Structure 1
Amino acid sequence: MPTHSEPLRKLGFLTIGLFDPADPRPGHASTLELIELGEQLGFDSAWLRHRHLQHGISSPIAVLAAATQRTRRIELGTAVIPLGWENPLRLAEDLATVDILSGGRLNPGVSVGPPMHWDDVKGALYPDTAEAEDFSYERVLRLLRFVRGEAATEFRGVEGIEVFSDRVQPQSPGLARRMWYGGASLRSARWAGENGMNLLASSVVRAEGPDEAGYDFAAVQLAQIREFRAHHPEGERARVSQGLVVIPTDSASAEQQAKYRAYAASRLPRTTAPQGPGRLLFAPDLVGTSAEIAERLHAHAAFQQVDEVAFALPFTFDHEDYVQILTDIATRLGPALGWRPAA
């Protein structure tokens, strides 16, 4: 089990892929350029968020397919695909196809539950089957069965000159072991462990347990990580990746530093207490020099239990800001955490 004294083994980053709806191409091109930069800087992984009916990437698998042809080494992930919007069989085909194109570098992260704003979108998404759709963990299990090569149909053989398989095609060996679940509660962490998935721990958790002394984000997330590993077949060796928002300022201009601190300050109130009916608790954004951020991370109870991270980039910054942040993470923060860039 990783501890704060062990070096960080894998360093990744996560982006939403923001774009201008009036001219979406530059935003998508910027995301691909950041992934290429990440590979050049030695990052181990690059991850895309998933946004439907918003001005962020709605089809991360399509974007990652493009990224496979512009990179050779960096792992490519989704954090996360909400399965309520997906047909598991079709998604299994897309995931395997991109994994094949990447040479086995895809790390699909998924989650379950009804789509956001379900009452507003269900008529467009599932006009005939909305009431029958199952948004439980069974939807993930269906996806896992197809990815693992279990039968999708009872028919296989030759019909005329066409050959049919009873399994999703293509099959990509190893993909099943690179499937991640985005969990924010003890229940989801336990389920992911019981089903042998990897765990994506983000900057959002569900506040659970007694709150006499107030909720501490790190303590809540630590409990979820322990619950996951306690139920995973690999125990303490089960993979967990943490996705906090970190913004190093080492090489930032004075203008950039002011922007970053204003951004973090605007989001700070939501970190003081659980938010909304889901009782979501948000981690504070970490802004400062790499030395300052490393000190805070080493004191973070949940960070002490992981040796993989996918630090989240802020949503609304400019391309040059992301270049500066990624460069500082790779050249200053990562080394301060004991990480060494990939060759």
Structure 2
Amino acid sequence: MKNIGFLSFGHWTPSPHSQTRSASDVLLQSIELAVAAEELGADGAYFRVHHFARQLASPFPLLAAAGARTSRIELGTGVIDMRYENPLYMAEDAGAADLISGGRLQLGISRGSPEQVIDGYRYFGYAPADGEDHADLARRHTEVFLDVISGRGFAQPNPRPMFPNPPGLLRIEPYSEGLRDRIWWGAGSRATAEWTGRQGMNLMSSTLLTEDTGVPFHQLQAEQIQMFRDAWKEAGHDREPRVSVSRSIFPIVDDRDRAYFGHDRDSRDQVGIIDGGTARFGKSYAAEPDELVEQLREDEAIAAADTLLLTVPNQLGVDYNAHVIESLLTHVAPALGWR
């Protein structure tokens, strides 16, 4: 059995060929797709976060709205760029959104992806300290965020407050119990996966790894997952971790699917350069359901993960993306034992 959800990049463009022509369109349709996915029996609705782009950016209003419209589905991010975040303000937003959803948030956070602008986090008022790089900045913000969402009191109360305080040091409010166990780190390498395991965060791995050893992507990612689990065990954490992988998977069941994704039948891994280093990109899967089942049986990383996130082409609209999710849940997942 696997948790199966979708991951939306939240693109919008004024092109007449797009179903999301404005920021309003993509936000409202994201909520509607979460509702539709829950009705179809999917387990998760996840959203990318990109700044200075015609994409989804500020996740917590969206997560709170989707939480108010749904009752069961997990709601998450993949990923929030921690270089841009005020950790304490983020803790308040996350606590509020989690309480609205009834404790269903699954927050993916990380150093983030290549940016639209140079050092965009500086425009938000953040910069690495002396001796730090931008990855250190993200991890420093993360350390503070994880600490304050634990519910620990740390702020000295005013002796003459406007309202009565509980005894002792004050914590961030609203506090949502259990949220700390539902934080994921988007790891782009095996070394970062090991660090994630030591920190006690769940592992979120996408269709990109910022390294290449010459083996197929799914095998390199499976190795990453095992290294994460080994580091988790060695650190002695007292719960079982979760692991998600993302994939572009399109069952071809009608002429629309064939027109949109028939050209991806022969997709292969790609190796390229990102942020100045070699990276391996995982292939897309597109085929008739029976063939797709056989292809997916060979994916070692999907087999190793408990959660599969389907990257959806959000600009094709809610109805078509609901069709993609339904096709996978109906025609593919049962044959693989995922349902």
TM-score band (shorter)? 0.7 to 0.9
1: CA distance, partners of 2:210 / 2:317: 30
CA contact (8 A) 2:244 2:305 kept: yes
2: CA distance, partners of 1:29 / 1:307: 29
Name the CA shift for 1:319/1:117 in 2 (closer, same or farther; >3 Å): closer
1:130 to 113, 119, 127: 127
SS at match of 2:209: strand
2:270 to 269, 272, 285: 272
1:155 paired with 2:157, answer yes
Structure 2 partner of 1:222: 222
CA contact (8 A) 1:249 1:290 kept: yes
1: CA distance, partners of 2:265 / 2:287: 13
CA contact (8 A) 1:256 1:321 kept: no
Displacement of 1:304 after TM fit? 2.0
1:19 paired with 2:12, answer yes
SS at match of 1:19: coil
Displacement of 1:159 after TM fit? 1.2
2: CA distance, partners of 1:290 / 1:310: 18
The one-letter amino acid of 1:273's match is V
Name the CA shift for 1:289/1:15 in 2 (closer, same or farther; >3 Å): same
SS at match of 1:169: coil
Structure 2 partner of 1:337: 336
Structure 2 partner of 1:257: 258
2: CA distance, partners of 1:287 / 1:229: 30
1:72 paired with 2:74, answer no
Deviates more, 1:296-305 or 1:64-73: 296-305
1:328 paired with 2:331, answer no
CA contact (8 A) 1:85 1:115 kept: no
Unaligned runs of 5+ in 2: 15-20
Deviates more, 1:35-44 or 1:310-319: 310-319
Displacement of 1:273 after TM fit? 1.9
CA contact (8 A) 1:19 1:28 kept: no
Displacement of 1:238 after TM fit? 2.4
Structure 2 partner of 1:144: 146
Displacement of 1:161 after TM fit? 3.5
SS at match of 1:241: strand
2:192 to 188, 194, 219: 188
2: CA distance, partners of 1:337 / 1:203: 20
CA contact (8 A) 1:112 1:139 kept: no
Provide the aligned C-alpha RMSD in A: 2.5
The one-letter amino acid of 1:175's match is L
Structure 2 partner of 1:231: 231
Aligned residues with identical type, % of pairs: 30
The one-letter amino acid of 1:230's match is D
SS at match of 2:28: helix
The one-letter amino acid of 2:273's match is Q
Residues matched between the structures, number: 322
Unaligned runs of 5+ in 1: 1-7
Name the CA shift for 1:279/1:150 in 2 (closer, same or farther; >3 Å): farther
2: CA distance, partners of 1:309 / 1:180: 14
1: CA distance, partners of 2:37 / 2:310: 12
SS at match of 2:299: coil
Give CA deviations for 1:285-328 in whole Å, capped at 9, x if unaligned: 11112332222221112122123211211354333321220111
2: CA distance, partners of 1:222 / 1:236: 21
Deviates more, 1:276-285 or 1:188-197: 276-285
Give CA deviations for 1:18-50 in whole Å, capped at 9, x if unaligned: 234663322222111110011101111111111
CA contact (8 A) 1:17 1:49 kept: yes
Displacement of 1:205 after TM fit? 1.1
Deviates more, 1:294-303 or 1:272-281: 272-281
The one-letter amino acid of 1:145's match is D
Displacement of 1:156 after TM fit? 5.7
CA contact (8 A) 1:16 1:48 kept: yes
CA contact (8 A) 1:88 1:139 kept: yes
Name the CA shift for 1:107/1:245 in 2 (closer, same or farther; >3 Å): same
Name the CA shift for 1:307/1:115 in 2 (closer, same or farther; >3 Å): closer
1: CA distance, partners of 2:280 / 2:228: 19
2: CA distance, partners of 1:168 / 1:102: 19
Displacement of 1:9 after TM fit? 2.7
Give CA deviations for 1:136-177 in whole Å, capped at 9, x if unaligned: 422211111011113342336651435486211011111111
Name the CA shift for 1:261/1:52 in 2 (closer, same or farther; >3 Å): farther
Name the CA shift for 1:318/1:101 in 2 (closer, same or farther; >3 Å): closer
The one-letter amino acid of 1:159's match is P
